[in-house]
Amino acid sequence: MARMTIRYAIFPADPGAHLFQVTVEIDAPDPQGQRFTLPAWIPGSYMIRDFARNLVRVRALTGDGRRVRIGKTDKHSWQCAPVAAGQSLTLAYEVYAYDLSVRAAHLDTTHGFFNGSSVFLLPAGHEKAPCRVDIFAPRERRLRGWKVATGLAPARGTAPGAFGTYLAADYDELIDCPVEMGPFAAEDFTVEGVPHRIVITGRVAKLDTARLGRDLARVCATHARMFEPRTRRPPFERYTFLTFAVDSGYGGLEHRNSTALLCQRDDLPHVGMQSATEAYRRFLGLASHEYFHVWNVKRIKPAAFVPYDLRHENYTPLLWLFEGFTAYYDDLGVRRAGLITPEQYLGELAATFTTVLQRSGRRKQSLAESSFDAWIKYYKPDENAPNSVVSYYQKGALVAAALDLSLRAATAGRRSLDDVMRLFWRRYKLAGTEYAGVAEEDIAPAIFEATGVDLARPLRAWTRETADPDLAELLAPFGVVAERGAALESAHFALLGCRIGGGAEARVSQVFDGSPAQAAGLSAGDQIVAFDGLRAGGGRIDAVLARYAPGDRAEILAFRRDELLRFEVELARQAPVKWKFAIDPKASAGARRLRTAWLGMA
């Protein structure tokens, strides 16, 4: 029997008021009374967000126009009264959409964007039913030029990129295909014949879309080639990068055949730009990250996500594999695509190593614990986060690097972490609908199966315990020298061991464990007003500190709330360590071979 199709319609009814109008219609509602639910979170962003808070005026009607009683049973569920047999049921509601992030929905007179998880109610029991969505254009004359970009497949009769009808195989696909509508810029390119498109919303002067297409094509091809060395094809029919260029902001969310990216407009290349600026390299790293997720987390998944339960937290100890390994391969992919130099890549890796080692949180929380508690810690950081949390992105990336380097060194370059990722990918493809996801205890045996190298003990120490992967030592066989230097970017970080916000007020934002600031009693939120009797606000703190030497003593006056407090501080004798990874020009031929196999040719 053909499954009943769920019919959705969405209309940017009032861009000025940020309101989408949405309907969902089903033919054979539950005779006991149909229930509808909205997800509490969106996959890829591990925090309860309660999208239902933005639904307004939810009404229910039968096919012949009769009102149906409807009420809520919990924060994201609605219960309808039974309707007569043979009657269809339609819910109509508005969604307030004014969250300019990649996670929710946004509508104004410049564009509209939504994730299905923010706007489409699921009729309970119909998770597997096919869905169709009518996406309507805004009514206003001045918004006539709007187009559509989405990973959803257009139905027959709807041209790709036009307003009209789109299809999804089930609810999971429906909410995994965000939709952008507006007068965006776009560039098309292909990877092994598979169409790809990047659309850019937001004003960007002299945007070089051709370069974006060219560079992204190389990054995408690099990842596809790694997972599918034979066909080199990515696992979908088309892919869309939805990009919002804004004044400030950074982030991305991965989907099965698209991604939503938020970047600063200055991150994007302009016509005539010569080399890749640091900002553009950061954008390429972000795009590379989300594209790698096509395999790692959108298809290869932690067991806890098969299937997702969108009503509440889904706990997994493995975000270090799904986010951390992806963070390792994002910059590495940009390097292997030839868009940054080996030296630039090693610079990024050293920066991650430095950041992880500077924070004492890594001694108090393992990667498995950090993954498990992402919902209440990593996604809800407070001023003490560096002292209490380890990032499963950053330390996870170091673990990936450490595994990769260990495997390459142990096999004279014949095996690597790429083989492990391909093994996970093969297992996903072989399992089909039986796929059970990756369990923690599968990982060390999978590494052994793919490479013949047993790394169970270090893996456990790095992920279940709090050991640091020693990249400085692991890089040596690759002709890369690790150098310890001093982190001197700002005098207050080096000498006081805290972070102080910019701007007119010298306000302490973070105090690091074991620092002079902490020993003196300075706290997050304190506003420093004087240093040894001289005014220290107005961005002056670093200039004042520059005249002092390690170990000097000084007096700090600071406001805590509205109380003026006095602190005696002894400046740090040693600045925090900053690592540098440099290519050794005198490395042996064997070391050079290993490095080239890892990072590609210079």
**Positions in the binding site for Zn ion (CB under 5 A):** 323, 326
Q: At 580, which amino acid appears?
A: K
Minimal distance in Å, beta carbon 531 to Zn ion?
A: 41
* Closer of 323 and 369 to Zn ion (Cβ): 323
Beta-bridge mates of residue 329: none
**Is residue 250 classed as helix, strand or coil in its secondary structure?**
coil
Minimal distance in Å, beta carbon 254 to Zn ion?
A: 6
Token pair listed for 81: 């009264």
Phi, psi of 58 (to 5 degrees): -85, 120
Minimal distance in Å, beta carbon 346 to Zn ion?
A: 22
Minimal distance in Å, beta carbon 454 to Zn ion?
A: 29
* Closer of 125 and 381 to Zn ion (Cβ): 381
Residue 92: enclosing H or E segment and its boundaries?
A: strand 89-96
Q: At 114, which amino acid appears?
A: F
Residue nearest to Zn ion (CB): 323
Rounded Cα distance, 78 and 459, in Å: 46
Minimal distance in Å, beta carbon 253 to Zn ion?
A: 8
Minimal distance in Å, beta carbon 352 to Zn ion?
A: 14
Minimal distance in Å, beta carbon 590 to Zn ion?
A: 35
Minimal distance in Å, beta carbon 398 to Zn ion?
A: 16
* Closer of 78 and 292 to Zn ion (Cβ): 292
Minimal distance in Å, beta carbon 298 to Zn ion?
A: 10
Are 98 and 104 in contact by the 8 Å Cβ rule? The answer is no
What residues contact 522, with CB distance under 8 A and at least 6 apart? 496, 498, 508, 511, 528, 556, 558, 567, 569
Rounded Cα distance, 391 and 413, in Å: 29
Minimal distance in Å, beta carbon 214 to Zn ion?
A: 24
* Closer of 25 and 323 to Zn ion (Cβ): 323
Are 19 and 107 in contact by the 8 Å Cβ rule? The answer is yes
* Closer of 283 and 478 to Zn ion (Cβ): 283
Q: Name residue, tokens 């690592």.
A: 579
Of 331, 312, 500, the C-alpha closest to 401 is 331
Q: At 403, which amino acid appears?
A: L
**Is residue 41 classed as helix, strand or coil in its secondary structure?**
coil
Phi-psi region of 496 (alpha: psi -120 to 50; beta: other; left: phi over 0): alpha
* Closer of 102 and 403 to Zn ion (Cβ): 102
* Closer of 323 and 526 to Zn ion (Cβ): 323
Cβ count near 431 (within 10 Å): 12
Beta-bridge mates of residue 93: 22
* Closer of 11 and 325 to Zn ion (Cβ): 325
* Closer of 326 and 406 to Zn ion (Cβ): 326
95, 115, 545 from 201: Cα distances, Å: 21, 16, 43
Token pair listed for 570: 């002894």
Are 97 and 54 in contact by the 8 Å Cβ rule? The answer is yes
Phi-psi region of 232 (alpha: psi -120 to 50; beta: other; left: phi over 0): left
Residue 201: enclosing H or E segment and its boundaries?
A: strand 194-201
Minimal distance in Å, beta carbon 289 to Zn ion?
A: 5
* Closer of 38 and 294 to Zn ion (Cβ): 294
Minimal distance in Å, beta carbon 173 to Zn ion?
A: 20
What residues contact 422, with CB distance under 8 A and at least 6 apart? 226, 227, 229, 450
* Closer of 329 and 428 to Zn ion (Cβ): 329
Minimal distance in Å, beta carbon 287 to Zn ion?
A: 12
* Closer of 421 and 536 to Zn ion (Cβ): 421
* Closer of 288 and 326 to Zn ion (Cβ): 326
Minimal distance in Å, beta carbon 481 to Zn ion?
A: 31
* Helices of type H across 464-507: 471-474, 491-496
Rounded Cα distance, 536 and 550, in Å: 19
Are 516 and 553 in contact by the 8 Å Cβ rule? The answer is no
What residues contact 114, with CB distance under 8 A and at least 6 apart? 10, 20, 95, 97, 104, 105, 106, 107, 178, 179
Phi-psi region of 509 (alpha: psi -120 to 50; beta: other; left: phi over 0): alpha
Of 364, 362, 368, the C-alpha closest to 441 is 368
* Closer of 324 and 479 to Zn ion (Cβ): 324
Rounded Cα distance, 255 and 263, in Å: 17
Query: How many residues are present in the chain?
Result: 602
Query: Residue 307, preceding bond cis, omega within 30 degrees?
Result: yes
Minimal distance in Å, beta carbon 114 to Zn ion?
A: 21
Phi, psi of 269 (to 5 degrees): -75, 145
* Closer of 267 and 323 to Zn ion (Cβ): 323
